[in-house]
Amino acid sequence: MLRDGDHRSRPRKMKHMAAADQPTDNSFLIGGPERREIILVSYDPNWPAHFDAQRQRIETALGAAARRVEHVGSTAVPGLLAKPIIDVLVVIADVEDEAAYLPSLEAAGYLLRVRERGHRMLRTPDLAVHIHLWSDGAPAVETHLTFRDQLRASSQDRDRYAATKRELATRDWPTMNHYADAKTDVIRQVLNRAGAHPRPSSLDPCR
């Protein structure tokens, strides 16, 4: 469910076929929108090790301020095709208190890309790693972990999600935001089968 910098927590108003035609609010993006090609690759067994390296880097930078560091997104699901981007979920006390974490992460080499209420996203200069930060207790945290765990546990859901991603990746999208929005229905179906019924805002941005 993590998106690649072109995302926002907001109610969904689009269906798959209409998503590319909808206007998008990009005011939360540091540096403005980016048009990036959607490239899906087969699961790489080295991805967990790449995550571990980032986890150590983040924990060294933040110390006890990092209450939880998790590998999320498609690269966290063995056997699932994915964009080759390592998504990392970091839980801190208060994401709005940027002084408590942002300078340390920037000093560690991460660049701020998203600033929106309740969520921040930083990334590496090569765009290969996205760090998503939420406050402790934010509904999005459990939503993303539930989605990841359901895909890990259910080959049926994993295959259905992969097929949706593969089909959508063949289309031309104005931004990654539109591509991510088009996956909302299948993501909600997976979460419902896992027994979760998230609010629309908690679906963003980890895909």
Q: How confident is the model at residue 21 (pLDDT cuts 50, 70, 90)?
A: very low
The residue written with tokens 């890309």 in the block is 113
Mean pLDDT of 45-67: 98
For residue 81, count other CB atoms closer than 10 A to its CB.
18
The pLDDT, as a whole number, for residue 201 is 53
The pLDDT, as a whole number, for residue 82 is 96
The pLDDT, as a whole number, for residue 174 is 78
Q: Could you give the C-alpha distances from 171 to 33, 85, 165, 183, in angstroms and in order?
A: 18, 20, 10, 13
d(CA 111, CA 34): 15
pLDDT tens-digit profile of 138-190? 999 999 999 999 999 999 999 999 999 999 999 988 777 778 889 999 999 99
Q: At what angle do helices 184-193 and 155-168 cross, to 10 degrees?
A: 180
Between these two residues, 89 and 1, which has the higher pLDDT value?
Answer: 89
Sheet containing 86-92, strands listed edge to edge, beginning at the edge strand earlier in sequence: 68-72, 86-92, 129-135, 119-123, 111-116
Closest CA to 85 of 2, 198, 149: 2
- The predicted model scores a pTM of 0.83
